[in-house]
Amino acid sequence: MYIIETNETPLIIIEESYGFILFKGKSITVNTIGLYEPIMKYLKIFINKRPLDTKMIIDLEYFNTSSSKYLLEIFKILKHLNKKGFSLRIDWYYDEEDESMFDAGQDYSDILSDIPFNLIIKK
């Protein structure tokens, strides 16, 4: 799955043959349902099809509240990989000066305490 980045939506790449997921850019679209529902459906197929150890990179500059809710739902879907004996690792990138993105990553990390969740300062 490949979704091109716009001014309101992030670049999204899901490469199932490598177990790689990337969200990069901004997620401020008003139509979060239109953006995230197909991704969630795809990921449900992805984890039931031929799961692999999976690395997810979140490198968002900003996201709105409705996007935040969908990100949590996506993390919960991917959490099922662990139940199937595969690992999921999430790398959350943030700018050193951006306390709100750090705090958001920390909140997700706390909620998903049983998944390796790395907070990484962008270089």
Query: What distance lies between CA 70 and its chain's CA centroid?
Result: 9
Contact present, 74 and 101 (Cβ < 8 Å)? no
Query: H or E stretch including 66?
Result: helix 65-78
Backbone angles phi and psi of 111, in degrees to 5: -65, -40
What pLDDT digit, counting tens, does each position of 8-36 carry? 999 999 998 888 999 999 999 999 999 99
pLDDT computed for residue 40 by the predictor: 95
- Model pLDDT for residues 113-123, shown as the tens digit of each residue: 888 999 999 98
C-alpha–C-alpha distance, residues 121 and 101, integer Å: 10
Q: Are the CB atoms for 88 and 79 separated by under 8 Å? A: yes
Domains, the chain: 2-121 (3.30.750)
